[in-house]
Amino acid sequence: MSKKSWILAIVAVIILALGAVGNQLTSQTNMNNLFAEGSKAFSTSQNTIEAGDAHRQVAVLEVDGTIMDNAGAGYFSEGMDYQGILEAIEEIKENDEVQGLLLTVNSPGGGVYESTELYNALLDLKESRDFPIYVSMGQMAASGGYMISMVGDQIYTDNETTTGSIGVIMQVPNFSGFMEEHGLSMDTYKSGAMKDLGSSYRGASDAEKDVLNSFIQEKYNRFVDIVANGRGMSTDDVKKLADGRIYTGSQAVENGLADQIGYEKDALAALRADHNLETASVVDYTPTSATSWITSFTSLLTDKQLFTGQAEMNAADEMTQILEVLEDTSTPQFYYMYGGE
């Protein structure tokens, strides 16, 4: 039995056990529907969008959501399947029948590391296979989402697409005022002046700000270089547009940050027409996310009618969440993302 099958089997046992104890599941039909959705959620098979020559394919790959690696949370992680997308890129790379790629992007960006890794994986695919990549921007393709679009030979965007946001952001909460107001303090023992750089328990010194700004500037310059290479622009021209502001799709085309106004179907049609791929089959390689199914399952488990107890969060649970937030914000994180963290 595969790992995914084991997970579904374990979930089945949990649901059946809870049903026996609480006797509150609404119907067997609802349970069956949930498992049907679960089976689909864990599917990794390719999906043929348009039949054609089986030995000539146009691959479609969708990047939808924040570009973050949540692999540590396994199948129950939230957001896009980051590792799955990297694996799909490798699969496309190794398949000689694929002769073009339509990359669809609907993302505000994400982590600096992940955005850069994904861009490099796509660039390696393009250089290794030497086939055309067209990009279709969805509702949003900003910051890291814009960065990965730079592999495109042609970039299609809607007039109302939100794009741009070329830059780096890092935010560190400062709880020092709150702590002082409530008579709280943090004793820190460190080997060097910079060891607690980015601490949320005090304000940053000028020297610390200089260190962090040097990090940001280096990552910003790399982003600018990627845009310059992708769009055939000078770094000076890119920097005039790269102050972090967002652009509509039409503004992006006017400023040379995108090529054409159009939807996904237009980008696909152009890719096929421009490269003699009209008879090729169109195959979706996007890994299917289990997020929607997991959300349904979690809602089922937390439904107050499922248990004899109450679902409200008590004070101890609230305190635990607060402590988790403090812990998560203790280390500075750098983002190529529109809207901050």
- pLDDT for res 305: 46
Element (H, E) at 163: strand 162-164
What's the confidence (pLDDT) of residue 76?
43
DSSP for 65-124 reads S-B---GGGGGG--S--HHHHHHHHHHHHH-TTEEEEEEEEEE-EEEHHHHHHHHHHHHH
- Is 232 among the domain residues? yes
Residue at 136 is within a domain? yes
Q: Which of 334, 62, 315 is nearest to 198 (CA)?
A: 334
- Told to judge if 195 belongs to the known catalytic residues of this protein, a careful annotator would answer yes
> Residue 86's pLDDT is what?
97
- 264/64 Cα distance (integer angstroms): 14
Tally of structural domains, the chain: 1
Instruction: Evaluate whether residue 94 is within a structural domain.
Output: yes
Out of 143, 149, 200, 289, the active site residue is 143
> What CATH number did the domain enclosing 246 receive?
3.90.226.10
Alpha-carbon torsion 210, 216, 222, 225, what sign?
negative
Catalytic-labelled residue, pool 40, 190, 195, 265 = 195
Q: Select from 291, 256, 230 the least CA-distant residue to 82.
A: 291
Residue type, 232: G
Residue 137 lies in a domain: yes
Residue 172 included in any domain: no
**263 within a domain of the structure (yes/no):** yes
> Is 260 part of any domain?
yes
Domain boundaries, position 214: 44-167+206-292+331-337
Task: Check if the beta carbon of residue 159 is closer than 8 Å to that of residue 111.
Answer: no
The whole-number mean pLDDT for each consecutive block of 10 residues of the chain, a chain of 341 residues, reads 48 50 48 50 70 95 94 52 96 97 98 98 98 98 98 98 97 86 88 88 90 96 98 98 98 98 98 98 86 50 48 58 56 81 53
Instruction: Let me know if residue 303 belongs to a domain.
Output: no
For residue 143, indicate whether it is catalytic. Answer: yes
Q: What is the pLDDT of residue 328?
A: 57
pTM of this structure: 0.77
Is beta strand 335-337 parallel, antiparallel or unpaired with respect to 109-111?
Answer: antiparallel
In terms of Cα–Cα distance, which of 96, 222, 95 is closest to 150? 222
Rounded CA separation 282/57 (Å): 6
